Structure 1
Amino acid sequence: MIRFENVTVIRNGKTILKEIDWNVNKNEHWAILGLNGSGKTSLLNVICGYLYPTSGKVQVLGQEFGKTNIPELRKDIGFISSSLKGQLKNFDTVLSIVLSGKFASIGLYEAVEKKDVQEARRLMEQLGIEHLEDSAYGVLSEGEKQRVLIARALMAHPKILILDEPCNGLDVIAREEFLEFIEKLAQQEFCPTLIYVTHHVEEVLPCFSHTLLLKDGEVYAQGFSRELLKENTLSEFFGREVTVQEQQNRTWIAIK
């Protein structure tokens, strides 16, 4: 699904990513964990072809960068970030926003067919927002907006779905409801490969079988989540001694 081989990105004389080796295989869901400034967003921009590596090789969905049509490739990648929420129009209905995902447009300007509406309604039902079909986007809760964005992304039937710190701005209740939803989404047959980016360890859900620890633009460690999210590893990773507790199949940390 994704292959990085010795990928380095240098911009304005600054090394943003350094010698990244990383493979994401089919049927794997990954969490990318790192503090602010660790290079998480840059890594996502490389995956989507918005940031081109200075050296190294990138393959996404079997397509090697430099030998493929990047805009066409992006159609198979769903990208959900907090910045997208601010671009959508508050007066647009949920149904129209979900339908716009087919065309990757901000707003619905293309004619839609009956099958498109049926598909949008099917996705909204699966994501538990079918009752919001005629609601204006601006009146939704933050958690509901996130579900709308996911339904919108899934309209294009992406093979990879990237969630870039999706819990930013959510209160604790909305966050836990959203994370419960992500766990259920990962169990659905239609779910694409998930790449979930965060700087909160407790958001690494059981469905994320693998974790990439990113620090100062470099891969600190990667592998099975259950093996990486341990006290010694996380203490060294964060540069502070932390305690680790396992609750509800999730890892929670506190500074000693």
Structure 2
Amino acid sequence: MSSASKIEWTELTWNPVSGCTKISPGCKNCYAEKMAHRLQAMRAPGYENAFELTLQHARLEQPLGRRKPTVWFVNSMSDLFHEDVPDDYIDQVMDVIRRTPQHTYQILTKRADRLPRYFKTRSVPGNVWLGVSVEDRKYGMPRIAHLRKVDAAIRFLSVEPLLEDVGELDLTDIHWVIVGGESGKNARPMDIEWVRNIRHQCEDSGAAFFFKQWGGWGADGKKRSKHANGRLLDGQTWDAYPGSATPA
């Protein structure tokens, strides 16, 4: 299922895989899990298994039907590099990506250790932005080193939900950093100084900085309305993209 995305840094979502399993604290309040169960209750095609990992073969060629250059977020409802997704299925996804050079594909994973193994004998398509999730020091930060081992045109970090001060990041060869707080009724708070720390490091390293949202908490450390200054950091929005690339 492809659809217009509510994610601020992309345009459309493409889900050739759905479902996942939790592997780190960032997964605790997974929005995709909640959405999958809601879609199952609505009897939406492809969600008969709710959040069990499912290869969605019928969706593989969806981007081929769109000529307009588009930024696609791949697997907003799963993780393409989940251990139960076979290499040959990932190959099929990459084949569609190569056949649609007019599009840009953002692929984000928490299974960063699989990236250098998979791409050891394969090249990353030039229209792929490859990223890893970095929610904390213990689980998130080690993923950056795995990402850096892969030769991708754009490497990015999704620091969301940011659960603690991550300290000093090695942003060598990282082109883009997205930061966001957790949303939902059980959202964990995010301190403004944690965000500023990352922004300053992006400015020093030359990485583009994108502040996505405060989520369920405000900069003042209090629960807040999702509509109240949800993207303002120090009085402004931060919407930088790597290089000159910007979704239309």
* TM superposition score normalised by structure 2: 0.32
* Bigger fraction of residues in helix: 1
Larger radius of gyration: 1
**TM-score when scaled to structure 1?**
0.31
User: In proportion to residue count, which structure has more strand?
Assistant: 1
**Which structure is richer in relative contact order (CA contacts within 8 A, separation 6 or more)?**
1
